[in-house]
Amino acid sequence: MNRSTLCATIAAGVLLGACVAGGVAALVPGVWRPQPVLAVSSLSDDSFAVCTVPLDNGVEGFFLLDFQTGDITGGVLNPATQKFGVGYRHNVLKDLNFKAGKAKSARFLLVSGALVFAGQTGNTLAPSVLYVTDASTGMTVAYGIPWGPGAGGLRNPLVALDGINARGGGEKVP
């Protein structure tokens, strides 16, 4: 066997071995894992903003913010019944420092984010938050979403976690 034939045989063997190893790795559970994908969405018009937010493994919430009232209304479809089994309602106007009767032309942004809460005690919150921003002032408040065995019924309040005023140089909302 001459040198070029030997090199070609070794190269073919290495290539065949790599293909076999890759095929076996793809078939053995735990060797190759697909990466999880998360898709959330937000949308708004002149009157409402809506978004989805993951609450648990395979469960998401749907939240709607009414610009006229300042109410966030949310719901979670029960996978077994395909009905809304858990609901949320919270008014954001006070949290965003609106004065009574001054929210006639309010505009808001509503987006969701992920946050794993460290050292939770008491009520359990989902590993996600809702961010509501007053589009006129830049004031933003983050809300925790009650989730777990204690979250039931259709009138669960959201938990105002903290706020920040974007136009105030980053100082926190009182």
Euclidean distance between CA atoms 123 and 171, whole angstroms: 28
Q: Which stretches of the chain are DSSP H helices?
A: 3-27
- First-last CA distance in the chain: 84
pLDDT band at 118 (very low <50, low <70, confident <90, very high): confident
Whole-number average pLDDT of the chain: 80
User: Using CA of residue 12, residue 13, residue 16, residue 21, what is the dihedral sign?
Assistant: negative
Instruction: Compute CA distances 15 → 7, 18, 22, 24, whole Å.
Output: 12, 5, 11, 14
- 54 pLDDT more than 80: yes
pLDDT band at 19 (very low <50, low <70, confident <90, very high): low
- Would you state the pLDDT for residue 85? 84
pLDDT band at 119 (very low <50, low <70, confident <90, very high): low
- 109 pLDDT more than 80: yes
